[in-house]
Amino acid sequence: MNLIGAFPKLSEEERDWLVSSSETLHFGSGDTVIAEGSVIDSLLLIKSGFLRVTRIYLDEICAEFAGPLGPGEVIGEMSLMDGKGASASLVADGPAEILSVPKDVLLERLTNDIGFAARFYESLFLDVTRKLRSTNQRVMPVPP
């Protein structure tokens, strides 16, 4: 599987390693892939399908605030990195397949291969930056 735009700083061999180290999880339309507040213990990438990003406000109002997220997107990365609960729920918009790389497998590679670690974290930083810019555009539109 080609990871499309995910992890642009990794080599093709390193992206292939991520895929070969993963398990494919299957979700149906409407299934919750990540529940708001849950702690993520794997690197998750969308292999196929699309996910909606939702959040509950005032204990009852469900708002969609980003997305849809599609193939090649890294998901759950904030929780994976900081060990805190997910800031939003991700819900499958039709059938979806998610690649799941166990955290211990990923951490072993990051610990033992400093070059991989540098490229991985740089790629992850670029992805989070892109997502933050996109969110900022929705919250405070900037004139063209």
Domain of 30, CATH number, reads 2.60.120.10
Domain membership flag for residue 52:
yes
Domain membership flag for residue 141:
no
Number of domains in the chain: 1
Domain membership flag for residue 123:
yes
How many CA atoms, within 13 angstroms, populate the side-chain half-sphere of residue 136?
8
Output the DSSP codes for 35-65: -TTPPP-EEEEEEES-EEEEEEETTTEEEEE
Distances in Å between the alpha carbon of 1 and those of 16, 19, 67, 76, 128?
A: 8, 7, 22, 20, 22
- Residue 136 in tokens: 């900022």
Domain membership flag for residue 6:
no
For residue 64, what are the domain limits?
Answer: 12-135
- Dump pLDDT digits (tens) for 63-105: 556 668 889 889 888 888 888 899 889 999 999 999 999 999 9
Domain membership flag for residue 2:
no
The strands making up 74-75's β-sheet, listed across from edge to edge, are: 23-27, 96-102, 42-48, 74-75
Domain membership flag for residue 70:
yes
- Dump pLDDT digits (tens) for 29-74: 999 999 999 999 999 999 999 998 887 666 665 555 666 888 988 9
Domain membership flag for residue 18:
yes
Domain membership flag for residue 1:
no
**For the residues 5-31, what does the mean pLDDT come to?**
93
Taking alpha carbons only, the member of 30, 25, 77 closest to residue 52 is: 30
Helix axes 12-20, 114-139, angle to 10 degrees: 80
